[in-house]
Amino acid sequence: MARLIILIAVAGIALILWHKISKSKGEQRKKMIMWSVIISVLVVLGILGVTGHLNIITAMIAGAVALLPRAIQLLKYLPIVSRLYQQHGQPDAQNQQQSQSPPNGKQTMSTEQAMEVLGLKSGYSPEDVKQAHRRMMQKVHPDRGGSDYLAAQINQAKDLLLG
């Protein structure tokens, strides 16, 4: 019987609150909704605390906190979330791509520029060029989120230096 009375009281309070919120406008409506949610959460937590069931909520929160880092790692494997994660980590990615886009005309590269692109000094050997090319391509390969333009520049530098 007591549960039925509590249920009726909660339904009555919810009906009155819904009526007041529906009549209010703009900023006042947002405030009323926010306070209603906050008070509802506090009342539920109070009831759980009084009845001795708050340990369930505490265990759920502790479990969520413990599993949060693992869950974030797993989210990286979802393609859409992975793309969003990369975009969030690189807010200027569009600016970088625009600044790295190739010019309209075909541009030739000098030997000095090729050495600079690959990070080589004078007196390099063909093996040095191959190692530098491999190292640079691992960093900027388009399949790893790098730039097509930079990869093309590195390939052009390698082709020019190896002849």
Q: Express each pLDDT in 106-145 by its tens digit.
A: 568 888 888 888 888 888 888 988 998 998 888 888 888 7
Question: Is 93-162 assigned to CATH 3.30.230.10?
Answer: no
- pLDDT for res 8: 93
What are the domain boundaries of the chain? 2-87, 93-162
pLDDT band for position 27 (50/70/90)? Answer: confident
- How many CA atoms are closer than 13 Å to the CA of 58, on its beta-carbon side? 6
Spatial distance between the Cα atoms of 59 and 90, rounded to a whole number of angstroms:
36
Q: Express each pLDDT in 69-116 by its tens digit.
A: 887 777 666 666 556 666 666 544 444 444 444 444 456 888 888 888
Structure tokens that stand for 159 in this block: 């082709």
Burial of 123 (C-beta count, 10 Å sphere; 0-12/13-18/19+): exposed
pTM (global) more than 0.85: no
